[in-house]
């Protein structure tokens, strides 16, 4: 009796390990952007943990045609042309479109040469892709990494609210509380670019995690960390270093910081190694009223409003651990 029992326990343990090791189904919604490209490299170099179902693009840092081209370039550079790229919303739900060319350059990427990628966009629209994919998914099975304005997901939820059931978690790079904003004194760019979309996603009841400027401004480059990335010594690491060297100067000059943040890559790092980060579940609201606080995320960190928590707000991160992870994963690419 003992031998069959031990064999059964061994099989159960192996099955549990297999389940735990299954990669997370992921859709990356993005507006590349320099830091978006670094995030895409990090995700595409991590197939054991992340099964990237698709990349969906949105207007944000630059116009939709350029964000869609840059997403396809990142895919080409990483050797992951198996991943479909769908173009989505070309403007916010309500507000006038804004862009961030002064940070990311007119093409959305500085420090590297851009060209027309070989492989085209996938047929169809990103919003319809989200509706179809999330609508047919197993309950709570697909994670969305939101690296830009949340317009695509908001449009999908407006069209079919029930697709929220297919979502496991939405992890957002966006918002600011302790840090203050980066496009206005109160607002972070992704929220300011489409606060109405962020309100739709927040109201949907999906599990939400926010990585705001509060944490991304703690994950800063340094001369030593850029040398660490360069030491990987492949095409991917060279592109990342070239992109970052051009990109980080804006924030270093603006804030007087010793290094620059790599905002969007923090979302992928959080999905790969959540132990590098800490925060707490809080109640958050988004200000979409016209005026000086337009686009602000009001984070009730101390619970003074006595309202139910609706987001996980990440506030701390291990900067060296982040760059160690990025270096290790870039080494897997060409």
> Which residues does the annotation mark as catalytic?
263
CA distances from 101 to 98, 109, 185, 241, 250 (A): 9, 9, 19, 20, 11
Classified as helix, coil or strand, 2 is: helix
* Strand-pair partners of 145: 28, 171
Question: How are the residues of the chain apportioned to helix, strand and coil, as percentages rounded to the nearest 5?
Answer: 45, 15, 40
Give backbone dihedrals phi and psi of 32, rounded to 5 degrees, phi first: -60, 130
Of 208, 229, 194, 189, the closest CA to residue 102 belongs to: 189
Residue 182: Cβ within 10 Å count? 23
Please name the residues in contact with 225: beta carbons below 8 A apart, sequence gap of 6 or more. 259, 319, 320, 323
Of 126, 123, 101, 105, the closest CA to residue 114 belongs to: 105
CA distances from 324 to 85, 220, 224 (A): 28, 13, 12
Which helix (H) or strand (E) segment holds residue 42: the answer is: helix 34-44
DSSP string for residues in 273-328: -GGGEEEEEEEEEE--SSSTTTT-EEEETT-TT-PPP-EEEEEEE-HHHHHHHHHH
CA distances from 246 to 7, 94, 135 (A): 58, 32, 41
Give backbone dihedrals phi and psi of 148, rounded to 5 degrees, phi first: -140, -160
Task: Assess contact for 57 and 87: CB atoms under 8 A.
Answer: yes
């Amino acid at each position: 009796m003992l031998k069959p029992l031990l064999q059964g326990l061994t099989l159960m343990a192996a099955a549990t390990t297999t389940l735990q090791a299954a990669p997370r189904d992921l859709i990356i919604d993005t507006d590349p952007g320099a830091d978006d490209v670094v995030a895409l490299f990090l995700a595409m170099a991590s197939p054991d943990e992340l099964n990237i179902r698709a990349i969906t693009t949105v207007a944000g840092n630059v116009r939709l045609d350029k964000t869609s081209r840059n997403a396809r370039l990142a895919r080409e550079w990483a050797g992951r042309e198996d991943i479909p790229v769908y173009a989505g919303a070309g403007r916010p739900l309500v507000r006038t479109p804004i862009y961030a060319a002064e940070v990311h350059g007119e093409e959305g990427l500085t420090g590297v040469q851009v060209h027309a990628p070989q492989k085209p966009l996938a047929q169809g629209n990103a919003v319809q892709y989200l509706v179809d994919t999330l609508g047919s998914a197993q309950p709570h099975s697909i994670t969305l990494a939101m690296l830009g304005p949340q317009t695509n997901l908001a449009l999908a939820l407006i069209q079919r609210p029930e697709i929220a059931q297919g979502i496991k978690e939405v992890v957002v790079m966006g918002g600011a509380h302790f840090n203050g904003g980066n496009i206005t004194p109160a607002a972070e760019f992704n929220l300011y670019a489409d606060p109405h979309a962020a309100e739709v996603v927040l109201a949907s009841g999906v599990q939400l995690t926010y990585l705001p400027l509060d944490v991304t401004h703690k994950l800063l480059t340094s001369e030593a960390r850029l040398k660490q990335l360069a030491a990987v010594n492949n095409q991917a690491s060279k592109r990342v270093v070239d992109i970052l060297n051009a990109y980080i100067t804006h924030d270093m000059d603006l804030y007087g910081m010793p290094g620059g943040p790599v905002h969007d890559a923090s979302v992928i790092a959080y999905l790969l190694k959540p132990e590098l980060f800490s925060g707490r579940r809080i109640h958050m609201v988004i200000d979409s009223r016209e005026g000086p606080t337009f686009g602000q995320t009001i984070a009730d960190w101390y619970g003074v409003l006595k309202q139910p928590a609706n987001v996980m707000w990440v506030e701390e991160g291990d900067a060296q651990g982040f760059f160690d992870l990025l270096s290790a994963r870039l080494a897997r690419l060409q």
